[in-house]
Structure 1
C-alpha cells in the first residue's frame, strides 16, 4: 500500500465511530409507527385489495 494511502487510512476516525455505535446500541428504542401498526396496515391493505379484485371480477 502506498504511504500516502496508509497515512490517510490511519487518520480515519474509526474509534469515534465505534464509540458512537456502541453508545447507540445501549439505548432502548421506542417503537415507531411501523413497529406498532405495520402488520395491521399491511393486512388491511391486502384485504382491501383482494376485496376490490373480487368485487370487480364478480361484476365482469
Structure 2
C-alpha cells in the first residue's frame, strides 16, 4: 500500500508541475491543429452529403400529403358486400 500511495503522489506531483509550467500536450495540439481539424471535418461532411444527395438516386419521401388518397367509406362498404 505504501508503494501505491508513493506512486500516486509522484504522479500528481508531475501533473502539477506540468500545469504550472504550461507544458501540457493537448493545449499545444489544439493550438496547432484544432482549426484545421474542424475545417477538414466540415469539408468532409459537406462532400459526403453532397454525394449522397445528388448521386445515389435515393428517393427522399419527405411528405406523403397528396400522395395517398383514402377510398370514400361508402365505396369500401359496397366492395365488402359484393
TM-score normalised by the shorter chain: which range applies? Answer: 0.5 to 0.7
TM norm structure 2: 0.49
Aligned to 1:5: none
Deviation of 1:48 (Å): 0.2
- Structure 2 alignment gaps of length 5 or more: 60-82
Larger C-alpha radius of gyration, 1 or 2? 2
Task: Give the 4+ runs in structure 1 shifted more than 4 A.
Answer: none
- Structure 1 alignment gaps of length 5 or more: 1-8
Bigger RCO (CA 8 Å, 6+ sep):
2
TM norm structure 1: 0.63
Deviation of 1:36 (Å): 2.8
Deviation of 1:57 (Å): 3.5
Count of residues in Structure 1 that have an aligned counterpart in Structure 2? 50
Aligned to 2:46: 47
Cα RMSD of the aligned pairs, angstroms, is: 2.1
